Structure 1
């Protein structure tokens, strides 16, 4: 075997452990792969003495990366964002290339070296930037839209660099002829593949799909992707360019999303291996000798690139705060920088020492970016004076809109789930106030008369302006655990008694959210499975009352707050005049009379009050027994009728 099994096992073990650590620290997995390469490579601990064999395998990671990029190449999407993509994005790449070329010429280097380095340094990390924006719920914010538009153009700009770099080392007239020949080749290949490919791809995939074999579909996908990549390599172009064209062709078929799901495991695995080999190629001895070059590259990617992108964003009409945030989001190197550098090194365009220092600077910039973005809000407030005014104006608008609300529900997010909940609350004459970061949706909802404003619900000052001190509950309607944890932290530091209901996609984060103080967590997958089960049972002839009983049984077991609420299928809650039991939350302050007493001493059962749960800081909600001793800061959730709840609250707080 070219790669010894022991070395391969060591590489996999190190990758698993490091990526797990990165995920726990909420850092991109890409950084984990780079660190693995740095540690086990021939220039460090030396567990793997050569990276040549792994590099050949890792090249296929780049192939699949370019293939998925081709799948995302959507003309409609580009047209909708054309001003940002082809205006701001093009200016960023061209300006960065020009700046790097000028620095290289001043340093006495060839312009071809400057072009290759400029192309590499102009790239930002699509994977890292989009993940960090999603984690912060800022994809629809103005700076998020700017960043995505620039990243789209950067991804497209990789293609001409893949064509130009292999021929840049040709002398004089041969260079012009080589560039002309490369351009002619790409035109011919594009015409042949896109013209005949579009005619053949759809019927070919339809024929394969009709066989109803997942193995055959996957084999066909690999055949098409690698086959077109091989054709472009035979034409003197690159494998990566062929994979990009293959993705474009399949994107026009009905199988795009299925293909994207099928190819993701190959892409992620091989791309991870590619980043490992990048780290393995880093030579520490060169870095020690050329540390000043590393700092220069880091300065270009850090302050230099941030300033450039911020200035261009301002030029294209963004506010100072949005411009700075766009710069902080994209002020790092990217995965395609490594692709361009590897191609330039293979073409003997870059000396090894310059290659090593550039890779080191890019890796360091990527390591710094998550921490930089984490503190970007504070930095922007210092850099952009108008940001204080914009923030104050936005908070003032939120405060004015929410001023008349009392006992309302704060909805964090106003997507489909938030709007559905808002309609139900309105039918029950319960006021609500919604916060969302999608400006288009906020504008349309406000025009329709809904109580919705633009604001980040994870920020303390925004929640305060939305009437946190007057609210009766908070509902997080979007499935984003990181943001929900931030909201829980803010709420429990200001109003620990306020119920917080959170939506999640599945049940993987329920324990984490419960431990953080969520009153209830609703998992979409569970509710969907209950609806599937109820419809299935009814279609199979199971009586309706039995179906309702089964669903009720599961819900009561899953949702603690719903236990005991179901009194019978025939009851009509809307027409019943009898007082209905409701939930009530009571916070025990330091002066509460119940502190230090056991639940049995309070005799709340004589008031016809049921204790549903007790929440305590850093402890999951529990249903206490008679021996449970109450402490300051405890939050009790009681069930009963209004008069009885008032008597119970008086007994707990005043001792009467």
Structure 2
């Protein structure tokens, strides 16, 4: 018991120290977990000798992750992915197996060993890749969706791989392995079945999961829900995941695949969101524990014995897989940063490789010396995966900065120019054009311009701050210029240039905050709209309406606040100093406090006057709460 508590304290301490440091450094949580495992394992030797058993426990994090992924995918969505699952994912597995097998044969390894290594290295790390894609919010990109399809195909491919590996063993090898293991060896029922029996058992297990999800789990959830106890609901969610994983493991199949199918079956159930909220904390904790055990399990003695050979093999593995993935990205028309994300994101080996290596050793397919090196290669390739994602970010950023496209030829000049067509600019453009006034739209985001054209709105690609492009857009004749650029400095520069060229032009600009208002005011903007100001005023008005004020009273206070705030900004602009933070400007703070007091007094006085004008009745009217100062 004492040993268990010490190990638990050690792993939790490593998590809370290493992961925040790694995320603050921009390295991601996965690399933090892996480095923590290396420190407490090979470096300090504090992980103990029972890392493998802890890792088996931690693998439930991967199982739970696939269950949650299944909950996000309805069967219809899974069917829509069939082309990528069969085409992209299937080609990746087959091509990688073939190339790795051919390379191993060229180095005079036996065919069973070469094919087993091909299977092992064809897999990528579902845990690391999906965790990183989720953290970086890349899962919904084209590259992220393609990577997810390949990972899902690989997880499914583990089942036939486990069925094929025994066929590669030499005659008598399985019997010898069982004899050496003795009576205590844990065997699967599936091992005693012929090939057709394995197939039937697999189909039966999948059918049972689908049927149980529809006809057993849902009624059971309804029964448990009647208790209205959160801990019982959590226990039920864990029972579903652990029970299905145990069933699949009992028949020698992939627990992760079983829980994924269960998640897909339950994706359209009324308990979906409750399942997600109950499982998510356990998944995150076990995933972190899994990554730590991977780092703690790296055998540095194997690396130090042949460091150059090991590093060369890791680089070769990543290079071979990246080359195959890059070729598939071209064939399936992934472009730009999506191609780099798909290529570098899947270029490592995966956690299911540990399972296949262990199984291949028991079947006498992989010699012990080769198995040790393979395990180290898998762990090291997983260790450098976060670094590959960082490399991909740098490459993508450079690609975007180097992408040059000539600006569109502007063949019309309208009285209204809109510079920047993000969410703010789109609303302005739609209202103005649908009111019958044509506009000229300029933006540097080519995808947004193309999307606009898809919906029937005309836009032009180009940098709105370029003088020649502004001249072509009709700056000399325009009546109104709307500046809604995301980049603050670019917006200020555009307003200043437009005011210099056209002193009579009416300029409407979007501001990020109060300080940006002062910058745009100094640059020459006529009307300045804070991006969150109007929506915040509307929300405040709804609050007042729901604490006792009438719609008219709330609207009147809203108008008063709006007018006073605009006047206050003009007043405060005299105290604003460029380059000095507002919090460091005592004169600005003093005047802002005075204006706030005046505003509160004016709003309270307006409310009091309305109360005095109300007609008297025989019974006193119920008191209305005074509105709080915004």
Report the TM-score, using the length of structure 2 for normalisation: 0.69
Distance 1:614 1:177, change over 3 A: farther
List runs of 5+ in structure 1 lacking aligned partners.
Answer: 382-386, 456-460, 477-486, 504-509, 557-561, 567-580, 584-607, 629-656
Q: How does 1:607-622 map to 2 (within 5 A)?
A: 610-611=572-573, 614=576, 616-617=578-579, 619=581
Structure-2 residue corresponding to 1:153: 150
Q: Which residue of 2 aligns with 1:255?
A: 271
Taking the aligned partners of 2:542 and 2:360, their CA distance within structure 1 comes to 63
Spell out the pairing of 1:309-458 with structure 2 (5 A cutoff). 309-318=325-334, 321=336, 324-333=339-348, 337-345=350-358, 348=361, 351=368, 352-377=371-396, 391-393=403-405, 395-397=406-408, 400=410, 408-412=418-422, 414=423, 419-420=426-427, 422-423=429-430, 433=441, 443=450, 445-452=452-459
Say whether residues 1:244 and 2:260 are aligned partners. Answer: yes
SS at match of 2:573: strand
Aligned residue number for residue 54 of structure 2: 54
> Which residue does the alignment assign to 2:618?
none
Number of the residue aligned with 1:287: 303
Does residue 222 of the first structure (1) align with residue 238 of the second (2)?
A: yes
Which residue in 2 is equivalent to 1:473?
483
Question: Could you tell me which of 194, 202, 211 is aligned with 2:218?
Answer: 202
Whether the 8 Å CA contact 2:120–2:357 is kept in 1: the answer is no
Determine the C-alpha separation between the residues in 2 that align with 1:3 and 1:521.
59
Task: Write out per-residue CA displacement over residues 534-565 of structure 1, whole angstroms, 9 at most, x where no aligned residue.
Answer: 55653564333554577789xx7xxxxx6823
CA contact (8 A) 2:138 2:144 kept: no
Whole-angstrom CA distance in 2 between matches of 1:304 and 1:401: 49
Structure 2 counterpart of 1:273: 289
CA distance in 2, matches of 1:489, 1:294: 49
Residues 172 and 124 from structure 1, CA distance in 2 versus in 1: closer, same or farther, beyond 3 angstroms? Answer: closer
CA contact (8 A) 1:120 1:340 kept: yes
Counterpart in the other structure of 1:604: none
Q: What is the rounded CA distance, in whole Å, between the counterparts of 1:217 and 1:28 in structure 2?
A: 32
Separation in 2, partners of 1:322, 1:627:
46
What is residue 559 of structure 1 aligned with on the other side?
none
Alignment of 1:543 with 2:543, yes or no, is no
Give yes or no for the alignment of 1:625 onto 2:596: no
Alignment counterpart, residue 251 of structure 2, candidates 235, 238, 257: 235
Give TM-score, length-normalised by structure 1: 0.67
Q: Any conservation in 1 of the 2:36–2:295 contact (CA below 8 Å)?
A: yes
Task: Please report how far the alpha carbon of residue 379 of structure 1 lies from its aligned counterpart in structure 2 after TM superposition.
Answer: 6.6
Relative distance call for 1:181 and 1:38 in structure 2 (3 A) is: farther
Corresponding residue SS for 1:411: coil
Alpha-carbon displacement from aligned partner over 1:329-368 (angstroms, at most 9, x marks no partner):
435326xx11332453265365342234313431343142
Query: 199-208 or 617-626: which moved more?
Result: 617-626
- Residues 344 and 392 in structure 2, CA contact (< 8 A), matched pair in contact too: yes
Distance 2:124 2:579 in 1: 41
Q: Cα deviation per residue 1:112-140 (whole Å; 9 max; x = unaligned)?
A: 54445444433445676667778888767
Aligned partners of 2:568, 2:439: CA distance in 1, in Å? Answer: 17
Shift of 1:24: 1.5
1:103 Cα shift? Answer: 1.9
Question: Are residues 190 and 79 of structure 1, via their aligned partners in 2, closer, same or farther at CA, if it must alter by over 3 Å?
Answer: closer
The answer to whether the 8 A contact 1:165-1:344 is kept is no
In the alignment, the residues of structure 2 paired with residue 38 and residue 63 of structure 1 have an alpha-carbon distance, to the nearest angstrom, of 23
**Which residue number in structure 2 is paired with residue 94 of structure 1?**
94
Aligned residue pairs, count: 537
Deviates more, 1:254-263 or 1:488-497: 488-497
Q: Is contact 1:333–1:362 with CA below 8 Å preserved after alignment?
A: yes
The CA distance in 2 between the partners of 1:180 and 1:618, in whole Å, is 77
Provide the rounded CA distance (Å) in 1 between the counterparts of 2:212 and 2:589.
79
Does the Cα contact within 8 Å between 1:293 and 1:357 map onto a contact in 2?
A: no
C-alpha distance in 1 between matches for 2:461 and 2:390:
26
- In 1, Cα distance between equivalents of 2:3 and 2:535: 48
Give, in whole Å, the separation in 2 of the partners of 1:169 and 1:252.
38
SS of corresponding position for 2:421: strand
Q: Which has the higher helix share?
A: 2
Are residues 447 and 137 of structure 1, via their aligned partners in 2, closer, same or farther at CA, if it must alter by over 3 Å?
Answer: same
- 2:621 matched residue in structure 1: none
Q: 1:521 & 1:183 partners in 2: Cα distance?
A: 64
1:595 corresponding residue in structure 2: none
Shift of 1:303: 3.1
Distance 1:450 1:258, change over 3 A: farther
1:576-591 paired onto structure 2 within 5 Å? none
- Structure index of larger Rg: 2
SS in 2 for 1:408: strand
The CA deviation string for residues 21-80 of structure 1, in whole angstroms up to 9 with x for no partner, is: 222123221111011001111x21112223245324312212212322332444333444
Aligned to 1:654: none
Matches within 5 A, 1:543-582: 543-548=550-555, 564-565=564-565
Cα separation, partners in 2 of 1:329 and 1:55, compared to 1, 3 Å: closer
Q: Alpha-carbon deviation of 1:176? A: 11
Query: 2:496 and 2:581 mapped to 1: Cα distance?
Result: 13
> In structure 2, what is the Cα distance between the partners aligned to 1:200 and 1:528?
48
| Whole-Å separation in 1 of the counterparts to 2:71 and 2:375 | 32
